[in-house]
Copies of this chain bind each other. A is one copy, B any other.
Amino acid sequence: MKLNKNHNILIVGLGLIGGSYAMRLKKEGFTVKAITRSQSSIDYAVENGLIDEGSTEIDKRLIGEADFIVFALYPHIFIRWIEENQHLFKSGAIITDVTGVKCSIVYKIQEILREDVEFIAAHPMAGREVYGVENSDDSIFLGANYIVVPTEKNTPEAIELCRSLGEILQFKTVTELSPEKHDEMIAFLSQLTHCIAVSLMCANDTPGLEHYTGDSFRDLTRIARINDDMWSELFLSNREALLAEMESFMTTFNEMYECVKNNEREKMREMMRCSTQRRKRFDKIV
């Protein structure tokens, strides 16, 4: 079954992603409610038409009425929330998430979750270097990828429902990966890139660099403006996979270093031709 307007949708955690989900769903005519910590986020979301109503409390009515719940919380808060409040879910409810790591979350949640409620994990590959519901912007999903992360415990119905959410949000592609494959991919595509950006930004404190820079440095460090609380948790929640990708990057970077050191121009050019060829597949078409 696809998500439809008879579904009561609840979003828990109204930040940039939760708010942008709400924005798109409301534009499509869905009823969207929210629970989040700060009253000012609820106020902003109601005033700007992102949600129909919301609460800063663990509101029994809002939770008990919801057919489909999106959790947009930090990993450890998500797990604690389920432990403390899952008795309030409606029987038959489907819950999903937006968490950036999966193995350390999905199995744990599915293990502790009530039998009559199903958790289907998903990861929207969209974000920005700003935070908070005030920065909500549903155009961040255009041209972007949405990954559904099912396990053996998931039913085809819940997977279909979750995929339909990605389509409603207007993601360009909706795909499926196992938690293990997801975490490998994300270690390379997202976590390693953040490690690189942070390291690059920290590697040189010469004053005035901003007056000499070009766009390449700006591009490589856009994500160096980072939420240290969230990302340090994500890194450590996916430690083994991230370490493996960091090692693999260091090996390749060291090959380039050796090329420069030993004046191996042809080998350097081979690497550049390889990167040029591969990069073509990654252009974003909105």
A228-B272, A246-B253 provided; 10 other pairs, C-beta below 8 A? A126-B214, A189-B217, A195-B256, A198-B256, A200-B249, A202-B278, A226-B272, A236-B263, A239-B261, A246-B260
Q: Which of A199, A224, A255, A282 has the most CB of B within 10 A?
A: A199
Which chain B residue shows the least CB distance to A280?
Answer: B225
Number of copies of chain A assembled together: 2
Chain B residues whose CB sits within 8 angstroms of the CB of A228 once the complex forms? 268-269, 272-273, 276
User: Is the C-beta of A242 less than 8 angstroms from some C-beta in chain B?
Assistant: yes
Chain B residues whose CB sits within 8 angstroms of the CB of A195 once the complex forms? 253, 256-257, 260
**Chain A: interface size category:** 35 or more
Whether B222 pairs with A219 at a CB distance below 8 angstroms is yes
A86, chain B: closest CB distance, angstroms: 28
A114, chain B: closest CB distance, angstroms: 31
Whether A257 pairs with B243 at a CB distance below 8 angstroms is yes
Residues 242-286 (chain A) with a chain B CB within 8 angstroms: 242-243, 245-257, 260-261, 263, 265, 268-269, 271-276, 278-284
Whether A204 pairs with B217 at a CB distance below 8 angstroms is no
Whether A212 pairs with B175 at a CB distance below 8 angstroms is yes
Whether A220 pairs with B197 at a CB distance below 8 angstroms is yes
Q: How far is the CA of A275 from the CA of B265 in the complex (A)?
A: 33
User: Is the C-beta of A155 less than 8 angstroms from some C-beta in chain B?
Assistant: no
User: Is the C-beta of A82 less than 8 angstroms from some C-beta in chain B?
Assistant: no
Q: List 6 A-B contacts (CB under 8 A).
A: A190-B216, A197-B220, A203-B245, A221-B275, A232-B269, A250-B254
Q: How far is the CA of A247 from the CA of B144 in the complex (A)?
A: 35
A279, chain B: closest CB distance, angstroms: 5
Binding site for B on A (CB under 8 A): 125-127, 144-145, 147, 173, 175, 177, 182, 185-186, 188-190, 192-206, 209-226, 228-229, 231-233, 235-236, 239, 242-243, 245-257, 260-261, 263, 265, 268-269, 271-276, 278-284
A15, chain B: closest CB distance, angstroms: 16
Q: How far is the CA of A190 from the CA of B220 in the complex (A)?
A: 10
Whether B189 pairs with A212 at a CB distance below 8 angstroms is yes
A21, chain B: closest CB distance, angstroms: 16
Whether B226 pairs with A276 at a CB distance below 8 angstroms is yes
Q: How far is the CA of A220 from the CA of B221 in the complex (A)?
A: 8
Chain B residues whose CB sits within 8 angstroms of the CB of A279 once the complex forms? 201, 221-222, 224-225
Whether A213 pairs with B145 at a CB distance below 8 angstroms is yes
Whether A272 pairs with B177 at a CB distance below 8 angstroms is no
Chain B residues whose CB sits within 8 angstroms of the CB of A233 once the complex forms? 265
